[in-house]
Structure 1
Amino acid sequence: MTHPMYNTDRAIVDRLSSKPLDELSNADIVNAARLLIRYNGLSDGKDIRGDIVLALHKWNKTPNQLHVKAREIWQGGWRPSDLLKDEVGSGADVNAACGS
């Protein structure tokens, strides 16, 4: 049985593993760390876990270094909701659509 989030997680891993280290966002780092945890010991996620480990080798990082960095990001106040702030417009387009 496949994890219910497998397809979504697979897309995340494919995207972040294609990036060089200097282009990783906080979200990429946190996602890589949480997916390593999610698929730890799950036979249906060995490919996801393996691809993250391969990316870590490419970045010359260890799983422990990844988890330390992810904790630093969280302790620094970053939250996934920070991503939404970048996706929300000024509101001008909403006002125009409402006839204002």
Structure 2
Amino acid sequence: MTDETQQTHPLYAIDRDQIDAVLGHEGVPGPQQLTTIAALFSRYADFPGADDIRDDLQKCLALWGMSRDDLNIKTREIWRSGWRPGQDPVSEGVGSGADVEDTEA
């Protein structure tokens, strides 16, 4: 691709921050990391520009030892499970605390 055909995606800055956050995540990637990378793969697959983003998406897969097919299978499972963005898998099922008895007396 020549520089003349390179474009800047309108969501580039937001997406760059998301990829940087995923690359900075330590440990096993969770639903948020996996679904973010899968969505960005779709967004940038045929986009004429943002080569750095595509390179970092591939870097994520390499770090995780996954193929693109593995990522797609895993994210389909995540979505089927009912998970939604922003949901913390650790605190699922934790209520507001309204059902806890007041122990101060």
Q: Settle same-fold status: TM greater than 0.5.
A: yes
1:12 partnered with 2:14: no
CA RMSD of aligned residues (A): 2.1
Query: How many positions carry a matched residue from both structures?
Result: 85
Cα separation, partners in 2 of 1:81 and 1:19, compared to 1, 3 Å: closer
State the structure with more CA Rg.
Answer: 2
Q: Verify: 1:70 aligned to 2:70, yes or no.
A: no
Which of 74, 87, 90 lines up with 1:82 in the alignment? 87
1:7-60 CA-partner distances (Å, limit 9, x unpaired): 0000100110233451x2211110000000100011222211110101211111
The 5 A counterparts of 1:1-100 are: 1-22=7-28, 24-80=29-85, 82=87
- TM-score, normalised on structure 1? 0.74
Question: Structure 2 unaligned runs (5+)?
Answer: 1-6, 97-105
Question: Is the CA contact 1:20–1:59 (under 8 Å) kept in the aligned structure 2?
Answer: no
Runs of 4+ in 1 over 4 A off after TM superposition: none
Q: Secondary structure at the match of 2:9?
A: coil
Query: What is the alpha-carbon distance in structure 2 between the residues aligned to residue 82 and residue 55 of structure 1?
Result: 21
Higher helix share: 1
- Partner Cα distance (1:20, 1:82) in 2: 18
- Alignment check: 8 A CA contact 2:32 2:86 kept: no
Distance 2:21 2:86 in 1: 20
> In percent, how many aligned pairs have the same letter?
32
Please give the alpha-carbon distance, in whole angstroms, between the structure 2 residues aligned to 1:11 and 1:65: 24
